[in-house]
C-alpha cells in the first residue's frame, strides 16, 4: 500500500514537472492549433525561423542576457567569496550585524531600492548601459553567493591549507590546488544561483536598461501577453535551454551535499 502511494506521488512529480514545458515544444512547431484539437491542425517551422531573424531580437537578447549573467556571476564571486570566507572562518566585532546586512536584500522587497537606484543611475549616466544593468542585478545575487558559500566555508577545514603551506606552497598554489578543489562543488551551486537570478530578471532590466539593453525576458514578455503562443513557446525554449544545462551540471550537488543547501537554514 505504502509502495503504491509512493509510486503515485512520484508519477505526479514527473507529470507536474513536465506539464508546463513539454506542450511548449508542440506549440513552437504549430501554425494553427485551435480548441479542441489535441494536436495542431497545421504544423510549421515558422516560429523557429522567426527566432533566428534579426528583427525578432532573440539573438541579441540571448547574448545580452548571457553576457550580463556571466559578468554578474563573476563579480558576485569576486566580491562574495572573500566575504563568505571571513564570515565563516574569522571572528570579529559586529560579525552578526554584517551577516544580517548582507542577507537583507533577499528578505526585504527590493522594489524601493530599484526605483531609488534608477534615480541615482540617471544622474550618473548609468541607465541604458550594460554596466548599470549588471550593477542592479548584483543586489539579489551577492546575498545568495554569501549565503551558500559561507555555509560551505563553515564546513571546510583549513588544516589542508596549513599543511600545504608548511610544505612550501605559495599563496596562489594553496588557493589553486587546495582551497579551490575543496569549495568547488559549493561554488558551482552558488554560481548557478547567481547566474539564474540574473538570467531571469525582468523589471530591474526594463527600468535600468531603459529599452536600450534588450534581454531575453524582455523579448518574450510581449508574446505571452499578446497571446502569440507559437512564438512565445519558441522563445521560451531558447530561454530555458541554458538553465536546464546549468541544472544538469549542478543537480548532484544540489541533491546530495547538505552543506551547500544547508546555508538556507541559518538565515
Partner 1 sequence: MRWLSLMEKLRAPLMILPAVATIILLFFGGLLVGLGQSLGYFPAIDSYDLTLQYYAEVLSDNIFFESLWQTFRLALLSTVMSSVLAIALALVLRQTFKGSRFFTFMFQLSIPIPHLVAAAGIVLLVSQSGILARGAYALGLIDAPRDFPVMVFDRPGTAIQLTYLWKEVPFIGVVVLAVLQGIGPQYEEVARTLGANSWQRFRFVLLPLIMPGVLSTSIIVFAYVFASYEIPLLLGVRHPTTLPVLAFQNYQDPDLSLRPQAMAMSIILTLIAIVLLVAYKRLANYAVSR
Give, as ranges, the residues between 167 and 226 that touch partner 1 (CB under 8 A).
Answer: 192, 196, 199-200, 202-203, 207, 217, 220-221, 224-225
Residue 160 CB, shortest distance to partner 1, in Å, is 20
Query: Of the ranges 56-64, 114-122, 161-169, 173-181, which one interacts with partner 1 (CB under 8 A)?
Result: 114-122
* Angle of the 58-89 helix axis to the 216-225 helix axis, nearest 10: 120
Which run of H or of E encompasses 65? Answer: helix 58-89
Q: List the one residue from 110, 128, 129, 169 that touches partner 1 (CB under 8 A).
A: 110
Q: List the one residue from 31, 32, 176, 266 that touches partner 1 (CB under 8 A).
A: 266
Q: Mask: binding to partner 1, 13-32, rule CB under 8 A, as x and -?
A: xx-xxxxxx-xx--x-----
Number of C-beta neighbours around residue 190 at 10 A: 31
Using an 8 Å Cβ cutoff, are 161 and 174 in contact?
yes
* Residues binding partner 1: number (CB under 8 A): 91
- If binding is defined by CB under 8 A, does position 87 make contact with partner 1? yes
Cis peptide leading into 263, omega within 30 of 0? Answer: no
Taking the CA atoms of residue 46, residue 48, residue 52 and residue 58 in that order, the dihedral angle to the nearest 10 degrees is: 110
Q: List the one residue from 105, 154, 158, 161 that touches partner 1 (CB under 8 A).
A: 105
- If binding is defined by CB under 8 A, does position 247 make contact with partner 1? yes
Rounded alpha-carbon distances, angstroms, from residue 43 to 27, 48, 208: 9, 12, 39
> 87 or 178: whose CB is closer to partner 1?
87
- If binding is defined by CB under 8 A, does position 1 make contact with partner 1? no
All cell numbers assigned to 127: 541607465
- If binding is defined by CB under 8 A, does position 232 make contact with partner 1? yes
Amino acid at each position: 500500500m505504502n509502495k503504491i502511494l509512493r509510486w503515485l506521488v512520484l508519477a505526479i512529480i514527473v507529470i507536474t514537472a513536465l506539464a508546463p514545458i513539454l506542450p511548449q515544444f508542440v506549440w513552437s512547431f504549430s501554425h494553427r492549433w485551435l480548441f479542441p484539437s489535441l494536436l495542431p491542425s497545421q504544423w510549421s517551422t515558422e516560429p523557429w525561423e522567426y527566432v533566428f531573424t534579426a528583427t525578432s531580437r532573440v539573438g541579441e537578447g540571448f547574448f545580452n542576457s548571457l553576457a550580463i549573467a556571466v559578468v554578474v556571476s563573476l563579480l558576485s564571486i569576486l566580491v562574495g567569496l572573500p566575504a563568505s570566507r571571513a564570515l565563516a572562518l574569522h571572528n570579529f566585532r559586529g560579525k552578526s550585524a554584517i551577516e544580517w546586512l548582507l542577507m537583507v536584500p533577499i528578505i526585504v522587497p527590493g522594489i524601493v531600492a530599484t526605483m531609488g537606484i534608477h534615480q541615482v543611475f540617471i544622474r550618473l549616466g548609468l541607465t541604458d548601459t550594460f554596466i548599470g544593468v549588471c550593477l542592479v542585478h548584483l543586489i539579489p545575487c551577492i546575498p545568495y553567493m554569501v549565503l551558500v558559500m559561507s555555509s560551505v566555508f563553515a564546513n571546510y577545514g583549513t588544516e589542508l591549507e596549513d599543511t600545504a603551506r608548511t610544505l612550501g606552497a605559495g599563496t596562489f598554489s594553496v588557493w589553486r590546488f587546495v582551497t579551490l578543489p575543496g569549495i568547488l562543488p559549493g561554488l558551482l551551486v552558488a554560481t548557478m544561483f547567481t547566474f539564474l537570478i540574473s538570467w531571469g530578471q525582468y523589471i530591474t532590466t526594463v527600468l535600468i536598461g531603459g529599452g536600450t539593453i534588450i534581454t531575453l525576458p524582455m523579448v518574450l514578455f510581449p508574446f505571452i501577453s499578446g497571446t502569440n503562443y507559437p512564438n512565445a513557446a519558441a522563445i521560451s525554449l531558447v530561454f530555458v535551454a541554458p538553465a536546464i544545462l546549468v541544472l544538469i551540471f549542478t543537480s548532484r550537488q544540489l541533491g546530495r551535499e547538505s552543506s551547500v543547501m544547508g546555508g538556507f537554514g541559518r538565515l
